[in-house]
């Protein structure tokens, strides 16, 4: 099948609720892959951080943003955020529909709130793709520290929204085989329309640069984290590990950089200050890719502190592949999908144990030969299987299936 021919003249609209592009690297990569295949691409997303223009065109991709108030971590806050996001997305989508033909609406989760659009858009013969970045029911359990027996009505609603998203989508994108298995387990008829498109770095642009020794601020080593900073991301385990290294073991030759932001960011900064770690930890916030790449390229070890939880055990962490693509050894907890992605590129330590995490950091810093071998293994695995270029082929195959139906 001539994939490019399938996309010629097609207009694809990407819908995101919890991030903005270009910061959401997966959706930005998807936008570029569709454009490279010949489609016109528009994006609907919230204003987020520095991505504050209501309308802009980047790399030929038209971005429509709306203002929203993000949740404060409470259940009412999430209801308010999602309700406003749904209504404003519908308004912007109709504006695009009035300007010309739309062929595919591609909605990313979390949350799983856009399935009503899948039903409505069938009236206009517009295809709908559900891109499952997180398992929302498990995310709810992890976020509010619940189990299935005590989760209550909100968990039941999440499960139903997930099922309805699967049911009415013309195509489903899963970030790993575990997620795909969930869709098929829910309804075996989903097998034909569910495709695995993993999160992977585009090695044409996400690549090492010259290390900057000044970033170490006179220390011997640099350790780095990049990603979202919500409670379920476990960045507090990095702070607790630094506390163990600095205050208990008197290790003071490591500089730590925490790149990113999230609703747990203020608490994390307060934790670090209370433990007297302001000189050891740099909270960069959200920074441009070039600055982040310079820090990661300088790092001697990279950190994946996502704790064991119903969500994290089954989820693919984008940062894992980014670390691997840069040839960095990784410290991680024992998580099923992390072990599949990183393989021999990571040192796995006891789950949710900051002391073990601290020991893992020291182990890699004290053994440069082992660390170098782990980094080389990561580069090979990304090149052979996990790079975005490989995943883009799967994405285009999924779209070809949806457009041909």
CATH label of the domain that carries residue 249: 3.40.50.2000
Does 245 fall in a domain?
yes
Give residues with Cβ within 8 angstroms of 365, minimum separation 6: 221, 254, 300, 301, 371
Does 27 fall in a domain?
yes
Same domain, 378 and 400: no
How far apart are alpha carbons 363 and 343 in whole angstroms? Answer: 17
pLDDT band, very low/low/confident/very high, at 48 (cuts 50, 70, 90): confident
- pLDDT computed for residue 345 by the predictor: 97
Does 15 fall in a domain?
yes
What are the pLDDT digits (tens) for 76-134? 888 899 999 999 999 999 999 999 999 999 999 999 999 999 999 999 999 999 999 99
* 113 close to 85: Cβ distance less than 8 angstroms: yes
Same domain, 74 and 151: yes
Tokens of 247: 């205050």
Considering the entire predicted model, what is its pTM?
0.89
- pLDDT computed for residue 1 by the predictor: 43
Does 208 fall in a domain?
no
Same domain, 18 and 29: yes
Same domain, 243 and 355: yes
Does 206 fall in a domain?
no
Average pLDDT in the chain: 94
Same domain, 339 and 358: yes
Q: Which residue in 296, 176, 282, 305 sits closest to 233, CA to CA?
A: 305
Same domain, 21 and 147: yes
Does 254 fall in a domain?
yes
Does 82 fall in a domain?
yes
Same domain, 196 and 253: no
Same domain, 161 and 253: no
Same domain, 364 and 398: no
- pLDDT computed for residue 150 by the predictor: 76
Same domain, 235 and 254: yes
Is residue 172 pLDDT above 90, yes or no?
A: yes
Structural domains of the chain, count = 2
Domain that holds residue 222: 213-386
Give residues with Cβ within 8 angstroms of 152, minimum separation 6: 146
- Angstrom distances, CA of residue 301 to CA of 211, 239, 262, 269, 332: 13, 15, 23, 21, 11
Does 205 fall in a domain?
no
What are the pLDDT digits (tens) for 122-153? 999 999 999 999 999 988 888 777 877 777 88
Q: What is the mean pLDDT of residues 174-202?
A: 96
Give residues with Cβ within 8 angstroms of 107, minimum separation 6: 14, 15, 114, 117, 128, 129, 130, 131
Same domain, 187 and 229: no
Same domain, 184 and 235: no
């Amino acid at each position: 099948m001539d994939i490019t021919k399938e996309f010629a003249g097609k207009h694809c609209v990407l819908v995101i609720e919890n991030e903005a592009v270009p910061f959401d690297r997966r959706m930005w990569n998807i936008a570029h892959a569709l454009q490279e295949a010949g489609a016109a691409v528009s994006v609907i997303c919230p204003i987020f951080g520095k991505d504050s223009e209501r309308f802009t065109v980047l790399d030929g991709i038209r971005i429509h943003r709306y203002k929203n108030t993000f949740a404060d971590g409470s259940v009412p806050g999430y209801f308010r955020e999602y309700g406003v996001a749904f209504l404003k997305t519908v308004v912007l989508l109709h504006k695009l529909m009035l300007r010309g033909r739309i062929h595919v609406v591609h909605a990313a989760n979390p949350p799983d709130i856009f399935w009503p659009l899948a039903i409505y858009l069938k009236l206009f013969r517009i295809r709908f793709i559900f891109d499952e970045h997180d398992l929302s029911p498990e995310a709810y359990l992890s976020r509010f520290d619940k189990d299935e027996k005590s989760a209550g009505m909100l968990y039941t609603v999440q499960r139903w929204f997930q099922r309805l998203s699967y049911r009415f989508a013309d195509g489903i994108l899963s970030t790993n085989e575990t997620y795909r298995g969930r869709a098929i387990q829910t309804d075996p008829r989903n097998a034909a329309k569910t495709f695995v498109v993993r999160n992977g770095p585009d090695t044409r642009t996400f690549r090492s640069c010259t290390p900057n020794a000044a970033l170490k601020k006179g220390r011997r080593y640099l350790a780095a984290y990049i990603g979202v900073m919500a409670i379920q991301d476990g960045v507090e385990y990095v702070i607790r590990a630094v506390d163990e290294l600095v205050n208990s073991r008197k290790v003071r030759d490591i500089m730590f950089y925490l790149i990113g932001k999230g609703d747990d960011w203020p608490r994390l900064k307060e934790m670090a200050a209370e433990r007297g770690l302001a000189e050891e930890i740099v909270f960069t916030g959200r920074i441009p890719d070039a600055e982040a790449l310079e820090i990661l390229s300088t790092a001697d070890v990279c950190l994946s502190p996502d704790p064991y939880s119903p969500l994290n055990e089954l989820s693919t962490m984008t940062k894992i592949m980014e670390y691997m693509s840069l040839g960095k050894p990784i410290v991680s907890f024992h998580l099923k999908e992390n072990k599949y992605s990183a393989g021999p590129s990571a040192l796995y330590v006891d789950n949710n144990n900051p002391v073990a995490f601290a020991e893992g950091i020291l182990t890699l810093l004290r053994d440069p030969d082992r660390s170098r071998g782990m980094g080389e293994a990561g580069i090979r695995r990304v090149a052979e299987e996990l790079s975005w270029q490989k995943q883009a082929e799967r994405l285009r195959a999924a779209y070809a299936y949806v457009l041909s139906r």
